[in-house]
Each structure stands twice: as structure tokens, then as C-alpha cells.
Chains A and B, each alone.
Chain A
């Protein structure tokens, strides 16, 4: 925020008020589904289904939460997810930041080659089976490495980071460092990184949230339930088998019973599951917001 000791003009005030109105409307519109989900998570599912519950909880029940927390696996799931998220994000940043910095340097011979090579992966991928076979050959199946390594970097994020470096890091800094005889590594760690906290926060969030929400690698690469991340455990509680009507396969009476039970549970817990799974990661965001304040970084370095 720029300091404004100077008195605001009338036009500025109108502009500010309009801005606040706009944000308040946005807040209300977006808050509604969130309140809905919170209310639904403690309402009798029947009223949610029938539309009678539309804002405040109706026929309050904590059965949904109870159901989820009854599952002992939830806790190991949380723990695993935290480990995967922290390590995965650290690894992702360790690959992304230096690569993005190198590619942001116009005096880096071969940057277009690397750009081209990386960009290809945005469009063309070998698919699931070869990826699986690779992970298997590397002996990473059923280990933490299968979760954090194969998806460690994304060219999308590298490009976004590179753009930040190119548009915010003054080139004079690099030239000055070279004249001083400081090594690039030193420059990177002592100047570039501190200057780039906003983009590092964004990347940590992108990678971290991706890892937090992901279940697919776990589904493919993990066999051992004790290693499942939270999302995988929640899916086990929630996800129904493809209903037979769609696939045309045959339903046995006992399966029908199990499916009916599961549908009942799913209706009960599906909103609670969202809250349980996302509250921790949402709670992190306000702490990252301090990196998004205008000018703090540049100011701190210059000052």
C-alpha cells in the first residue's frame, strides 16, 4: 500500500468507494456457496437434497463429521498429505526457481533451446502407462518418491516465474553483481530470492495446493494404505462405483445393498469432507498475503 499522507481528492474518494462496493458485492456473491457448504455439512442430508436447506443449517446433525473422523485412516492421511505437500513443494521450488531464473537471463546462451524443449512437454506426454513403467523401473512404486518426483515441475509455473523475474528484477542488479565479481549463485541467493518473495509465495501455493489436492499419483503408484494421502482416504469414503445403469454391467443384490449404503453415507459426509480437507490449506493463505503487498520487497532491498 502506498502511503497517502496527502489528502485524497474527490475523484479518488469516489473511485475508492466504488471499489469497496464492487468488492463487497464480490464478497457476498462468493461467500454464499461457502456458507451453503458449511450449513450443508451439518444439516440433515434430506433437506439439502430437497432444497429446503438453502442458507442456514436445517435439522442440525454432526453425523457427517463423526462418520469421517470415525475412520482412523484420516489421521495417517493428514500426516501423509502434510509430508508430501511440504517435501513436494520444496522439491518443486528447488527445480522451478533456478531454472526460471536461468531462463530469464537474456545472456544465457541456449535459453531458447531449453524453452523449446520444456514447452514440448506442455503438449506432448507419453501417457499413463509409460510413466508408470518408468516409475516402476526406478523402483519408486509404493514410496514417497513416486508421489513427489514425477510431477515435481511444471513448465507453466516455470514460465510464470520467469516472467516475474524478467519484469521485476532490474537488469542493473545483475550487471552490478558481475562487475563486483560476485558469482551468479551468490547473486541468486542473496539478491534475487529476497526480491522475489511474492512469486515464491505464489509458486509455493500453486505447487502446494496441487500436491494437497492430488490423489491420482497415490492411486496409481501406492499400494499401501498407510501411505495414502488424505484425498485418497476421503475418496474411499465418498466415491461410488460407476453405477451399473451407465456401464450396463450386472448388479447383484449384495452389491446393490452396499451401493445404497454408500450413497447414503456419501450424502451425509460429502460437505463435511470438503471442510475437513480444505480448511488447513485455506488457513495458510492469510499468512501468504503479506508477501503480496505492493513495494515491500523492492523497498526493503533498496532501503
Chain B
């Protein structure tokens, strides 16, 4: 319309100019940086930071912490953080920004030169770690870890791969990860609608793409939801983003864009021969109306309504009860990975064990980096992990047997969800914090569904799973090249995928497609990541 709101036109321009990507910060409170040293008293804080035990400092000190939040509660009021303050003698002042705008605020902070003492859950990208580390805006942490982080040091010593994943090419560690060595998934897996399986009397889940096809065909024709209408949608998706990674594994590919195979060779998936197998299969499902024909036009919400309406046989979800909006149950089994014509199949791209590598960092203006490191180290201890995951004892849970760390949940007030309450107790809700996920945290608290979920993963996925790629750091030049290449390649691949699947482009056009990819420089993707991967391999 001609009259889009023109108010603040120059601002509008700014955002079109793309500066919406630029960013900015919260800094705000000028002078906060000096606060800690003032309040720390006359003594040199360094000498007073105890190397073990609590409190961390004898006299209270103050630090500023910047973090994203989801607006559930004020961090000042959270039980975990209050407890932590009592424990450590470190008082925090919080600079929170809503999680969806956090990247913007983070960039403003870096641009403004007024840094918080600590970045928490900040998702510092590899590029940010390298550049800000180089410029000494972020402190190198390796010596601090050796001296002030006994828990983390132990983990890193026992798991050299984790250390490699967080060490930049010049040998420094600028940020700490969230460690989750028990995790298998990092994308939604696919689930069968259990009611359909029962209605069609399926005893054994499909194991090959052929069997899967046959099953979908039956769903389409045999009215498993028993409403007398042929309204079943065998496979539902939104733009294929929700199932792509899972399905590509059936043709031996660990990830959507690039991955390293078992032999350590890096591949750019969209031009692999195996990818053609995936396209061919999806095209067959589309042609026979087994893949929802709304796939490329519908919203997540429309898809969710179909699942909830009991029309869909196979769908994605982190937990299968979520789209039905019911209590956790065992009704819907995890989709078994399928074997295709590719010999080395199926495979699954597993959670790499740590995620979002830049979750904690200390700025150069922090007067007490040692204390900050000890504070962070607590997150990597069993007690700290528990405190930050579930809140202090007596809020959400209590011990039934303290010696074995067995716990039980306390009853939840009427009409509230336990997870929502958790979000008011601890900051680690809806954001990825620094720290570690330990099995013992949940000891005794696991419900029937949790056990079912674990079992499903262990039997159906774990045997075929390998992380697609370790966390490799790119040099700035490599990063620039990759960014430029992928900006062009991604839309093209996405567009051609849809065309091949819907048959708008016949599969005979494959060679032309690959030629075009190469013309756009696709081979460089695998090359660059191969170099980075080899570099990762060669660091000790």
C-alpha cells in the first residue's frame, strides 16, 4: 500500500538498509564496570578469591551479568540465583534482553564499549569468539580454568574432544559451552501416530523405505482414524524443514548442508548422489499424495491442527505428546530409521555432546575474573547443575534419599504446569545456559514417559548415530567465503528441492542441477570445511 506507515521514515530506511541486523546494547548503566571493585573493598580481590569451597569471596562483591530471558520472571527474584548469591557472596546485577532480540542487544553492547562483567547464555558465535577474543574484549579462559575451575577442568581433561571444540585456532578458550553428553537429539525426530498403527494392526514398524511407503499407502486407503472419511494425511510437513534431516539419514547423509562421514571426509549434501535418492523417494510420496500437498504452503499452526485432529500418520515433534497437547504417554512410537538403496544406511546426525559453544564469557572490564570463573565452574558441578536446572530443594522437588541423590517432585499448585514454575525459579528455562546436563540431576524424577523416550532413542537411533561434524572454527576469510556462497546456494537448493519433490522439475534434470550448483561454487563448501575439520583433527 502506498501508505505504509511512514512515521520515522528514516528509521524504516535504516531497517531496510538491513541495519535491523546490526545491533546493540543494553549497557545503559554507565559506570557499572567500576562498581565491583568499589564494593569489593580496599583489599585486592584477586588474593581473596578462594580456590575451593564456598563462599568464593569472603566479602560480598558485585558483578553485572548480561543474558537473554523469556520474560517469565525477574531474575532478581529467582530462587536459584538468590541461593547462588548466598552461597558465593557474589551479587549480580542483571541486564536482560528478550531472547528474540538478544543478538541485537549483544551487538550494541560490543559496539558501545561498555561491557557487562559476564555474558550468560549469550550464544556467542564462533566468529564472535574469535574476533572479540583476538581484540581482547573477551578474556582468554584457559589459565583461569586450570586454576579456578576444578569441575570444568576435570571434564575437559576427561573429554579432550570437548576441549578441542571450544579451543579457537590460536589455542585460546574464550567461551564455555553447555555440555550434554547424554543427549541424542537436537532436532525434532519423527513419530508414528500410535492409534493408526493399532487400527492397521501393525506389529512391526517399517524398517526400509519400501515398507514405509507401503504403510503410508495403507494409511491413505484404509481409514485408520475410522471416521469414515478419507481425510488421512500419511506424512505431514511444513516446507520439509521439519523432516529433512531425519529423512536424509535414510540415504546415509548426517546433515542437511554439510557433514563428515565415518572416514572423515566432508560432504556437501545437496549435490550428493544420495540426495537424489532422497528426492526421488519424496517425489514418489508426493505423486501418490502420501506427502501432504499443503507442505509448501501451510503454516506450523495449520499442520499442528491436523496432527491434533488425528489425521496424520507420521509427524515431527520433540516429544510425541506435544502436538496433541495431552499429558505425556507411551502411545506413539518413535519412527525407526529406514534402510534405503544406499549401502551405508541408515545413519543419524547425533547431538554433538555440547551445544551453543559460546554460553559463558568474561569481559576484559571484569575486575574479578577469578571469582567469575569460580562462579561459572559451579554450573559444571553436580550440585550446581541441579540448582540451576530445578531450583533449590523444597521449591519443586525434595530428596527422598540424600545419600543416593534420589529425589521426588513436590505437588504442583492447581492449574499450573511444572515446567512453567521451573521457569520462575531458575534462569535456565527457554535459553541455553552454560553448564552440564548430568543423569543424576533427574534421579528419581523420571516419569514413565522419560523412560520410554530414553528406551526408544537407545534402541532405534543411538546405534546409527554420529555427530555430523565437530565444532570447527573457521578463519575470518573462510567464514566470509562460506557466508557468501551459502547466501546464494541455500535458496537455490531449497527451491530445487521443492521443484523436484513436487515434480515441477523432473528428476532427469538432476545433472543440470548439479552442474548449476558447481557453477555457484558448491564444491568450495566441502573443501573449506574439510580444511577446518583437518585442522580440528590435528590439534591435540
Contacts and interface: CB of A to CB of B under 8 A. Distances in A.
B98 A136 contact: no
Contacts of A251: 185-188, 318
Interface stretch (B103-111, B131-139, B212-220, B498-506): B103-111
Contact of A216 (B11, B108, B356): B11
Interface residues of B, number: 79
A235 interface: yes
A172 to B, nearest CB: 32
Interface stretch (B19-27, B368-376, B378-386): B19-27
A50 B104 contact: no
Interface stretch (A2-10, A21-29, A30-38, A237-245): A237-245
Contacts of B229: none
Interface residues of A, number: 70
Contacts of B70: 236, 258, 262
B71 A132 contact: no
Interface stretch (B268-276, B403-411, B417-425): B417-425
Contacts of A276: none
A210 B23 CA distance: 22
A250 B356 contact: yes
A93 to B, nearest CB: 12
A209 interface: yes
Interface in B6-25: 6-11, 13-15, 17, 19-20, 22-25
Contacts of B5: 206, 209-210, 213
A282 B3 CA distance: 17
B237 to A, nearest CB: 11
A258 B352 contact: no
A262 B430 CA distance: 9
B100 A240 contact: yes
Contacts of A190: none
Given A129-B111, A132-B24, A253-B185, A242 B11 contact: no
Interface in A202-258: 206-207, 209-211, 213-214, 216, 219-220, 223, 225, 232, 235-237, 239-242, 244-246, 248-258
Interface of A: 45-51, 121-129, 131-133, 136, 139, 141-142, 150-151, 154-157, 206-207, 209-211, 213-214, 216, 219-220, 223, 225, 232, 235-237, 239-242, 244-246, 248-264, 267
7 contacts: A50-B305, A50-B309, A125-B17, A127-B22, A132-B25, A235-B98, A252-B186
Interface of B: 5-11, 13-15, 17, 19-20, 22-30, 70-71, 74, 95-101, 104-105, 107-108, 111-112, 114, 123, 178, 180, 183, 185-188, 241-242, 256-257, 300-302, 304-306, 308-309, 317-319, 322, 325, 351-352, 355-356, 389, 417, 419-420, 423, 428-432, 437
